[in-house]
Amino acid sequence: MSTVPQTFLDGYSRSIPQGRALGGGTLLNGMLWNRGGRSDFDDWSRLGNHGWAWDDMLPYFRKSETYSPIQSSDIATDYSIGEDTNVHGYAGPVNVSFPHYYWNSSINLFSALTELGVPTAYDPNAGDIAGASFLPFGLDPVTQTRCTARRAYYDPVANRPNLWVTTGQTVTQILFDGAQGNANASAPSVSDFSTGEGGSPATVDIFGGGSMLNTSTIPPDPPNEQKRDLARKVWHWLKTITSILRRQAPSPGPSLVATGVEFAPDAQGVRQVIQATREVILAAGAIHTPQIMKLSGLGPTDELQSLGIQPLMHLPGVGNNLQDHMQVWCWYPYHNEWTINPTELNTNQTFVNEAVSSSATYPQDLQNPWLTSYLTVEQLLDQ
């Protein structure tokens, strides 16, 4: 699927890869195991979301993981890895560990950032995430294989007699007691044989596809005092608008009781229904969860009506404020014989063999001139 054209990304759409298999996005993500910032969680609590503060969430963070500390103190030192054992769990379903192979250029990166005064977050999972960090992975520490949601949560209980999982299906809407289902959610769209997601406009890939930002079109920043004055005005406007909307927002209406879900194998397939005897748990990810809610009549009333969907409950926040972390890729090809480039995975069979067979015991790596290089910022700039 893809975004609409993004004003501040050269006007391009961006594709958003989706993991359409058992395990979802954990099948194709970067495996980086990274929690949010302590202050963000605490802010949520201060805004009235009790139970979402960092200290409230930390027991669940720990409960989710089996953390395997890094084995080599030398590697930990050179790659700026520090561990706070109090914030990690050691008996959870997700394996969290470190790789058996390390790119020596990462040492150069941390050394360069330190010279530039950039702080280091030695264990970013402790909640203090400002600065550079070497993140652990959702990785089996022995086999070095990806630990997916399927491996962590499904495989251990796959033989339970009260568990049934069907694949190759997509939920089209939630059904509610006393409410007529959304007919539009069941109507296949023209020339769409997927699952109702539809075709995508021409997009570049999630990493930008070579698109270059034209900085000449960006106006210069105003002086600091002008920035502060503008920020105060924007904050005042936001508070005023929020107050008005709260007074004018229609009542959510009566409560709804979910009775089941409708699903289908694809947009042209026959819709089927499963009735729930206790409850319906909606866990379709950050993108498809609000999509299913809107198709089911839960969301901003005006938007639903404009799409021909009968509103069941006015929930203006559904589908709003979606945020993703920004990502900037910096490519720097080394032009010397002793520093490895990732492209050599495709061109240097000797290197491939060494990487595959490496046990990553640091003293052995130090004996290999292919795997060692210590450069300062000035030396990097000279290459």
pLDDT digits (tens, 9 = 90+) for 226-238: 544 555 555 556 5
- How many Å apart are CA 49 and CA 61, to the nearest integer? 18
- How many Å apart are CA 301 and CA 321, to the nearest integer? 17
Q: 269: which 2 tokens?
A: 């397939």
Q: How far is CA 358 from CA 71, 354, 368, in A?
A: 15, 6, 11
Nearest to 133 by CA among 141, 124, 125: 124
> For 279, how many CA atoms within 13 A lie in the half-sphere containing its CB?
3
Q: In this predicted structure, what is the pLDDT of residue 67?
A: 98
Q: CB neighbours (10 Å) of residue 309?
A: 21
pLDDT in tens, 119-140: 999 999 999 888 999 999 999 9
pLDDT in tens, the chain (383 residues): 788 898 888 899 988 888 888 999 999 999 999 999 999 999 999 999 999 999 999 999 999 999 999 989 999 999 999 999 999 999 999 999 999 888 888 898 899 999 999 999 999 999 988 899 999 999 999 999 999 999 999 999 999 999 999 888 999 999 999 888 777 665 554 444 444 333 333 444 444 443 333 333 333 444 444 544 555 555 556 555 555 554 444 444 568 899 999 999 988 889 999 999 999 999 998 899 999 999 999 999 999 999 999 999 999 999 988 877 777 777 777 777 767 676 777 788 887 787 777 644 433 333 333 333 333 333 333 43
Q: Partners of 90 in the beta sheet? A: 66
CATH code: domain 24-157 is 3.30.560.10
Q: In this predicted structure, what is the pLDDT of residue 236?
A: 54
**Under a CB-based contact definition with an 8 Å cutoff, are residues 170 and 295 in contact?**
no
**DSSP letters of 321-358?**
---------------SSSS--TTHHHH-HHHHHHHHH-
**Under a CB-based contact definition with an 8 Å cutoff, are residues 33 and 138 in contact?**
yes
**Under a CB-based contact definition with an 8 Å cutoff, are residues 106 and 332 in contact?**
no
Residues 6+ away with beta carbon under 8 Å from 333: 341
Amino acid at 122: Y
Domain boundaries defined on the chain: 24-157, 167-208+223-330, 344-382
- How many Å apart are CA 170 and CA 54, to the nearest integer? 34
Backbone angles phi, psi at 34, to 5 degrees: -145, 120
- How many Å apart are CA 92 and CA 59, to the nearest integer? 11
The crossing angle, in degrees rounded to 10, of helices 38-46 and 54-63 is 130
Amino acid at 216: S
- How many Å apart are CA 61 and CA 126, to the nearest integer? 10
- How many Å apart are CA 128 and CA 37, to the nearest integer? 6
Q: CB neighbours (10 Å) of residue 136?
A: 27
What global pTM score does this model have?
Answer: 0.70
Q: In this predicted structure, what is the pLDDT of residue 300?
A: 96
Strand 298-299 to strand 258-264: parallel, antiparallel, or no bridges (unpaired)?
A: unpaired
